[in-house]
Amino acid sequence: MTEATLAHQWWKDAVFYQIYPRSFQDSNGDGRGDIPGIISRLDEIAALGVTALWLSPLYPSPDADNGYDISDYRGIDPRYGTLEDFDRLVAAAKERGIRVVMDLVINHTSDEHPWFQASRRREEPYADYYIWRPPRNLGDDSGDREPPNNWTGFFMGSAWEWDDVRQEFYLHLFDKKQPDLNYHNPAVIEEIKGILKFWLDRGVAGFRCDVISLLYKSSLEDGKPGAIRGLEHYKAQPGTHKILHELRHAVLDPYNAFTVGETVMVTLEEAKDLSDPGRGELDLVFYFDHLEVDRLVARYGPKPFRADTLLRRLTTWQRGLDWNALYLENHDQPRIVSHYGNDRHYWSRSAQMLAVLQLTLRGTPFIYQGQEIGMTNFDFTSLDQINDVESHNIDRLLRRRGVPYSLRWYLIKTASRDNARTPVQWDSSEHAGFTTGQPWLGVNANASWLNYAAQDGDPKSVLNFYRRLIRLRAASPTLRAGGFEPLIADRAVMAYRRTPTAGSTDPGYTVWLNFSDQTQRLKQPWLTSAMSDPEAGPTGAGPVHPPECVVSNTGRRRLDGCLLPWEAMVIRDGTATPWRGDAA
């Protein structure tokens, strides 16, 4: 890593905002968001306190996986606009102090990419750009062929697809229209370097790197039994580290470019290797462990939520990584207020409580579009309303396994990626102010009251709560970069402390969160910890001094021995005042 990069890690003080372009703002009435629409909303983004944008793919694509199947890495899909529109976006964002980060999808391309079309015809130099293999055997007269190995893809089923033109199988860890690139071929790496330079020269500040931990397939041997077979042959392999280091040294460092990688199913040690500053690979990683506390397999198969389990997992990553990427939502996750909150009876309060959780941890926050107004999961009534390819593939798989419709629909409705992909709810007009046409995906019916316009001028709204938290964080070195200490937790309540950085005059903060519909009474030694004046040490005999809250989502200013349903309190050190009242 160069001295310039070490001296200017701007992303550590940034607040990112992820835009899923097709669902953000439509400017021309075609029902699909676009770049001019994004430009028209930059003032709203800036008002939130955001300093960087992450844009999901804008490249030309046949849309087998909503743009994550790219057919041209150096273009803009005409449905989103033009390269000139993109340049205007970068310039307009810069005027507002906002950097732009692109989504980089380089594990695979679209099968309609010219590279793949040439590769399937064995045309040089592209013949070896993808992972091709003959069948394990030729099968019988029916034409059945056995794939080269037993690997399964992330969208269920075999990870191999037969191609009639080349007369071989190609590997696709995701949809069959997303063939994996072959990183054993140095020419592929050179292509990626050119793509990076193309966008960096247009003024982007870096890249969010899609499924980046899966790039290098070290072997094509059969995989061990498991939900996804073959993972041990391509997850966080030494070859991937070598590729990332080469891209960093050759391209990213000279531009002082930022990278955050989506790292699939990685362990803490694997994530540390990918993001250790001394290794010169990625700056940050997105992991999933903290969002799977109440799930059996990824987003599917619910189990009871426990706040103490969540705190343990957060502690593992807060302490384990040099710097964390803080997120609760993205385009692949259900809405967090519908997942960990209560979107029916305590919608506003639980959305605000979850905002406190995200924005009081150590690291760089990534807020997903609509999260700042507490958007909920979509009110789907049938699979026909769902666009997501993964959801349909899972439904087919479960149907073949005899899973009844009621259970299939429950799993898909609560976990489908489309829950996060519905249009942003800007106002209460038809289609929520997203478009004057027919939206590409349905608009939630609650947009009539849950929308940006309704919250903008309401000081008690979820939106203004986010704004205040972001301002507090920006003013506090402790909340941005201080230490993290878990305090106490049980099924419903957690508390942790943010400790001051060395030499800082900013005090520490203690965060209390109630993840339940019930008032939670604090017991000893919890109560002693909660009521202590940090400057005087633990309370012993004598009066208990309840500290004053600097953030509260209930309007209460004192922690008096209990937490109300879905209550969040942030307490600054040294703000204790004389206690008047009974401590239960």
Q: For the residues of 43-95, what is the DSSP string, one character each?
A: HHHHHHT--EEEEPP-S----TTTTSS-S-TTS--TTT--HHHHHHHHHHHHH
Which parts of the chain sit beneath pLDDT 50? 1-7, 142, 533-544, 576-584
Listed in sequence order, the residues at least 6 apart from 3 whose beta carbon sits closer than 8 Å to its beta carbon are none
Residue at 253 is within a domain: yes
**pLDDT reported for residue 138:** 59
Residue corresponding to tokens 């030499």? 503
Q: What is the CATH number of the domain that holds 527?
A: 2.60.40.1180
298/367 same-domain check: yes
Residue at 275 is within a domain: yes
561/512 same-domain check: yes
Residue at 477 is within a domain: no
Last residue of a domain, one of 180, 210, 230: 180
**pLDDT reported for residue 197:** 98
Measure Cα distances from 318 to 285, 286, 295 in Å: 12, 13, 21
264/327 same-domain check: yes
Whether 246 sits among the annotated catalytic residues: the reply is no
**pLDDT reported for residue 470:** 98
Residue at 476 is within a domain: no
Whether 210 sits among the annotated catalytic residues: the reply is yes
Tally Cβ neighbours within 10 Å of residue 457. Answer: 9
Q: What are the tokens at 56?
A: 């999901």
Coil, helix or strand at residue 108: strand
**pLDDT reported for residue 157:** 87
Domain range for 389 is 381-415
260/314 same-domain check: yes
229/308 same-domain check: yes
Q: What are the tokens at 371?
A: 């999260």
DSSP letter, residue 250: I
Query: The sheet that has 258-262: what strands, in order across it?
Result: 284-286, 258-262, 206-209, 99-104, 52-55, 16-19, 364-368, 325-327
DSSP letter, residue 179: P
Q: How many CA atoms lie within 13 A of 57 on its CB side?
A: 25
Q: pLDDT tens digits for 431-471?
A: 999 999 999 999 999 999 999 999 999 999 999 999 999 99
Residue at 584 is within a domain: no
Q: How far apart are CA 70 and CA 56, in angstroms?
A: 12
Q: Out of 34, 111, 262, 343, pick the active-site residue.
A: 262
70/140 same-domain check: no
**pLDDT reported for residue 382:** 87
Q: What are the tokens at 543?
A: 């009066």
Residue at 529 is within a domain: yes
Q: What is the CATH number of the domain that holds 60?
A: 3.20.20.80
310/172 same-domain check: no
Q: Out of 26, 34, 175, 210, pick the active-site residue.
A: 210
Last residue of a domain, one of 468, 493, 511: 468
Alpha-carbon torsion (36, 49, 363, 359), positive or negative: negative
320/232 same-domain check: yes
Q: Is 565 left (phi over 0), alpha (psi -120 to 50) or beta?
A: beta
Coil, helix or strand at residue 551: strand
Q: SS3 sequence, 351-410?
A: HHHHHHHHHCCCCEEEEECCHHHCCCCCCCCCHHHCCCHHHHHHHHHHHHCCCCHHHHHH
Residue at 473 is within a domain: no
Number of domains the chain contains? 4
User: By C-alpha distance, which of 53, 64, 56 is closest to 89?
Assistant: 53
Residue at 541 is within a domain: yes
Q: What is the CATH number of the domain that holds 166?
A: 3.90.400.10
Q: pLDDT tens digits for 333-346?
A: 999 999 999 999 99
Q: For the residues of 298-322, what is the DSSP string, one character each?
A: TTEEE----HHHHHHHHHHHHHHSS
**pLDDT reported for residue 545:** 53
197/279 same-domain check: yes
113/103 same-domain check: no
**pLDDT reported for residue 530:** 61
124/238 same-domain check: no
Coil, helix or strand at residue 144: coil
273/308 same-domain check: yes
**pLDDT reported for residue 348:** 98
